[in-house]
Structure 1
């Protein structure tokens, strides 16, 4: 008995898949044209897929008498849902990356050289710090330690660590400014 039920369920699933494949072959191109006229090619395949997912889900619940009418009603509802979603998220204010009119800022040899110079100046400024300020700065910025952990490691108060890091930042900024 159980084997017969499994076989019947398997046949039903196979029948639904054949119907869905036939609908996709028959209605897919028309749906693509319908969506392409309204939203462009970029989203067409996603919207067609959404229609067939809804169609498949609805078909499980009740048989569909007029597939043409139902499919394009679902397509219209998918467009309405997409429009509402875009409005809610401010979709009309977003610009796709591939249609940006501004050129991509590539790393030119000049930019690389400037970056290397800035890096070297920053390293020189850090190395020129007094030893305790440099240690506190390095623990905080490079080892991601908290003020409390630095204080425990250096044997000083949390406020002293805060002051050391503040002085280090001021001195680094001054050194980089004068070095430029």
Structure 2
């Protein structure tokens, strides 16, 4: 059998494939090792050469390396899509999930407002330095170091003030805080 384009015997596709595996296999392994789990690398390389073998080429490949790495990229995309579909079936959507919270009834709204007012009152009744440290930390997101600098005390003193404030709030709120 001869190649009509070049008027010479056509190369053995099995021999070309074996040469390509030898030449480009290590490069493909490096390519996949940066983009996939190590356990999947050999399977991905095999997928590339299986796809190459399955393709009936009517024309010679000008740039074998570019062609192989294009196939490699497509193999990664296909693997990603299959994985996404596989795990999508395990995902439970919000519409199928049991209702997590009941509707905001007027009763719940009133109870929430009462608890909020109670918490504000407890915070306002803290000793002045503990209240200041608590407000700086919880409402102004200041670090203990920044609070210490602002109040002119040590970081350890801020920790102690925060501890006292939290214990007092917890006691006053009945352990609900």
Normalised TM-score (structure 1) = 0.49
Structure (1 or 2) with the larger CA radius of gyration:
2
Structure showing the higher helix proportion among its residues? 1
TM-score, normalization: structure 2?
0.50
